[in-house]
Amino acid sequence: MSDFNFENLLDESVKVHGHLCPGQVLGVRMSMFGLRQVGINDPRGKDKKKLIVYVEIDRCATDAIQSVTGCSAGKRTMKLVDYGKMAATFVNLSTGEAVRILAKEESKSLAKNYFPEIEDKYQAQTSAYKVMPDEELFSWEKVSVEIPREDMPGRPLKRVICEKCGESVQDNREIILDGKTLCKACTGSGYYRKLK
C-alpha cells in the first residue's frame, strides 16, 4: 500500500460512509495493514482480481474496508459473515496467503492516553486511532481460507429454478428437500415471510 496516503484514503472513505467516526479510521487502518500482510499493493488497480475480503461486522468499518480495497459484494470480492466482531480477513487469491485482523477491544481505553484533553470518547478514539501503532490497535494471525468455486468472482456457475416459487437460484444456493429443488425462502429458512 505504499502508493496510498492514509489521509487520502480516510477522506475517500468518509465520502462513501457519510461521516468521520472511529470505525472509519479503524477500517482504513485495518485495510492498509491487511493488504501489506498479504502482499497486495494495488487493490483497486492491477491487483483487483487477486483479493477477497471477509468482513465480520456490518458496521462503519465495513464501508472503510470497501472504500480502501475496492472489494464489494456485487463484485463478489467482499463477503459479509456477520459474527458481530470488528474483524476482517484479507485473502490474496494468487498466493493463497490470508490474514485475519481483529480490532483490540482495549484500544478504546488506550485511546484516552493519546488525547486526554478530548472529553468526548468517540472524538478521542477517532484521533487516537489515526496515530496508535498497529500493535495497539489490532491482533492478527495467518489463516487458511477455503473458498468454494461458487463463491469466487465471475459469472454464475449454474442456475436452477425453484420448484415451488419458480424463481431462479444461482451458484449452488438451492436446497434439495424431499427430492425437490427449492430456494432457501421456500424451505422456510428465508429472511422474509410472504404476506397473504
Tens-place pLDDT, residues 76-121: 999 999 999 999 999 999 999 999 999 999 999 999 999 999 999 9
Q: Can you tell me the distance from the alpha carbon of 127 to that of 180, in angstroms, rounded to the nearest whole number?
A: 56
Q: Report which residue type is found at 21.
A: C
* CATH 3.30.1330.130 segments of the chain: 6-149
Mean pLDDT of the chain: 93
Instruction: Give the SS3 label for residue 29.
Output: helix
Domain 155-187 -> CATH class: alpha beta
HSE-CB of 178 using CA atoms within 13 angstroms: 4
Residue 1 has pLDDT above 70, yes or no: no
The model's confidence at residue 130, banded by pLDDT at 50, 70 and 90, is very high
Residue 2 has pLDDT above 90, yes or no: no
Protein fold of 6-149? 60s Ribosomal Protein L30; Chain: A; (3.30.1330)
* CATH 3.30.60 segments of the chain: 155-187
Residue 177 has pLDDT above 70, yes or no: yes
Q: Can you tell me the distance from the alpha carbon of 183 to that of 163, in angstroms, rounded to the nearest whole number?
A: 8
Kindly report which listed range (2-16, 51-65, 101-115) carries the lowest average pLDDT score: 2-16
